[in-house]
Amino acid sequence: MESNYQISLIAGTLLFALLTVFIIFFILLYRRTRVKLHWERERIKQELLRVENEVKEQTLINVSRELHDNFGQVAALIKINLNLISKTLKGDELEQAKESLVLIQQLLTDIKSLSASLNGERLKEIGWIQAVADDIKRVNAIGELKIEFEAAGRSKLSTEKQVVFYRITQEILSNMLKHAKAYTAQIKVNCNDHVILYYSDNGVGFDENKIVPGQGLDNIRQRCELIGASVEISGKPAQGTQITLKIKNDGS
């Protein structure tokens, strides 16, 4: 009887041990599957963001070419016609024609600048920091607000990251012009082991609970996620906005 009891005890112990092993195995398998699904979802999300960014970038390139080839050409023809007409004018009419020529020349310059800012291929030639500096120069020329700009170090970001980083900066400037109601702002860029961009303004700020998905500040976060950059956005109503972007400098 005692022998049978020991055998039953051993068998029960082995069965319990096997059951425990199976439970642990299935738990580990379940967790591994969940982790795998999580990373797969993240990979698909990143791929969708990448494709969306490529589509947007191609659209901007097409708009850039349209501006340069069509609108720029029409403005140039208007300038030629005004030059011809002005030769037959005198007095006040001549002065008006000359003023129109100045405006047309400004229009041509603005079309060229806008076309260049939309075309990411230009970043290969001048780099994203110079492109940002050019955009800030155009904003300052309006005279409604003043943006201070400082840049130190050398950015070694890949062309793809430069384009996205530049688009993020354009989004920041766009938000400032449309919503901030600021009259002063600062953008500082420091390139070392990391590329760090700091932005601040003295505008109306914002309510973090009212950030609309797919717009403005949310777009900035999505673009940062696309290239592995971190972003900190802070601001309160009537206290301005502060944004810090950080990404590892390629080759560092």
> CB–CB of 208/215 below 8 Å?
no
Domain residue limits, the chain: 1-118, 127-252
Report pLDDT for 1: 56
> CB–CB of 203/240 below 8 Å?
yes
> CB–CB of 139/147 below 8 Å?
yes
> CB–CB of 114/99 below 8 Å?
no
Task: Give whole-number Cα distances, 172 to 7, 116, 151, 169, 177, in Å.
Answer: 75, 18, 17, 5, 9
CA atoms in the 13 A half-sphere facing the CB of 146: 2
Report pLDDT for 246: 94
Q: Quick check: pTM over 0.85?
A: no
CA atoms in the 13 A half-sphere facing the CB of 109: 9
Report pLDDT for 193: 93
> CB–CB of 50/43 below 8 Å?
no
Fold designation for 127-252: Heat Shock Protein 90 (3.30.565)
- Angle ∠(160,217,185) on CA atoms, nearest 5: 90
Report pLDDT for 123: 75
Mode of pairing for the β-strands spanning 194-201 and 184-191: antiparallel
Alpha-helical segments (H) within the chain: 2-66, 72-86, 91-118, 123-126, 128-142, 159-175, 216-227
Tokens of 98: 């000359």
Tokens of 199: 């932005």
Report pLDDT for 243: 94
Q: Cβ-count burial of 138 within 10 angstroms (0-12 exposed, 13-18 middle, 19+ buried)? A: middle
Q: What pairs with residue 246 in β-bridges?
A: 196, 230
CA-CA distance, 111 to 192, in Å (whole number)?
Answer: 35
User: pLDDT of the chain along its 252 residues, tens only?
Assistant: 556 656 666 766 777 777 787 788 778 777 777 777 666 666 655 555 665 666 566 666 666 666 656 666 667 777 777 777 877 878 878 788 788 887 877 777 777 766 766 666 677 788 899 989 988 988 888 777 899 999 999 999 888 888 888 888 988 988 888 888 889 999 999 999 999 999 999 999 887 766 665 567 888 888 888 888 999 988 888 889 999 999 999 866
To the nearest 10 degrees (0 to 180), the angle between helices 216-227 and 2-66 is 110
Report pLDDT for 124: 75
> CB–CB of 237/189 below 8 Å?
no
CA dihedral 161, 249, 191, 61 (to 10 degrees): -10
Report pLDDT for 201: 94
Report pLDDT for 242: 93
